[in-house]
Amino acid sequence: MWLWIVVLLALITSVSLMALARHRFRRSQILSELAEQRSDWVVKHPIQIASTADRSQLANLFAREGLVRIDHFLAPEFLQLLCEEAKTNIPRMVPSYIPTHKKGNTLSYENIHRHAHGCLGLYHSPELREWISAVTGMPVFPTPDRDQSSLSVLCYKDAGDHINWHYDHNFYTGRHFTVLLSLANKSRSGELSQSQLQRRTAAGDEAVDTSPNVLVVFEGAKVLHRASPTADGDLRIMLSMTYCADTRISWRKELARRVKDTAFYGFRALWD
Ligand SMILES: [Fe+2]
| Domain limits, the chain | 1-44, 45-270
Contact between residue 79 and residue 48 where contact means Cβ atoms under 8 Å apart: no
User: How far is Cα 242 from Cα 248, in angstroms, rounded to an integer?
Assistant: 14
* Architecture of the domain defined by 45-270: Sandwich (2.60)
Instruction: For residue 127, report the distance from its CA to the centre of ligand 1, in Å.
Output: 24
User: How far is Cα 245 from Cα 239, in angstroms, rounded to an integer?
Assistant: 20
46-84 pLDDT, tens per residue? 899 999 999 999 999 999 999 999 999 999 999 999 999
Instruction: For residue 29, report the distance from its CA to the centre of ligand 1, in Å.
Output: 29
Instruction: For residue 226, report the distance from its CA to the centre of ligand 1, in Å.
Output: 7
Instruction: For residue 109, report the distance from its CA to the centre of ligand 1, in Å.
Output: 16
Instruction: For residue 149, report the distance from its CA to the centre of ligand 1, in Å.
Output: 10
102-143 pLDDT, tens per residue? 999 999 999 999 999 999 999 999 999 999 999 999 999 999
**Prediction pTM value:** 0.87
How high is the pLDDT of residue 250?
Answer: 77
User: How far is Cα 83 from Cα 87, in angstroms, rounded to an integer?
Assistant: 6
Instruction: For residue 108, report the distance from its CA to the centre of ligand 1, in Å.
Output: 15
Instruction: For residue 24, report the distance from its CA to the centre of ligand 1, in Å.
Output: 27
Instruction: For residue 239, report the distance from its CA to the centre of ligand 1, in Å.
Output: 12
Angle at 93 between CA 89 and CA 95, to 5 degrees: 150
User: How far is Cα 67 from Cα 53, in angstroms, rounded to an integer?
Assistant: 15
Burial-class residue 150 by CB neighbours within 10 Å (0-12, 13-18, 19+). Answer: buried
Give the number of residues written for the chain.
Answer: 272
Instruction: For residue 41, report the distance from its CA to the centre of ligand 1, in Å.
Output: 28
One-letter amino acid identity for 217?
A: V
Instruction: For residue 205, report the distance from its CA to the centre of ligand 1, in Å.
Output: 15
Instruction: For residue 10, report the distance from its CA to the centre of ligand 1, in Å.
Output: 41
Contact between residue 101 and residue 264 where contact means Cβ atoms under 8 Å apart: no
Distances (CA, A) of 202 to 5, 210, 212, 223: 58, 21, 28, 11
Higher pLDDT, 183 or 256: 183
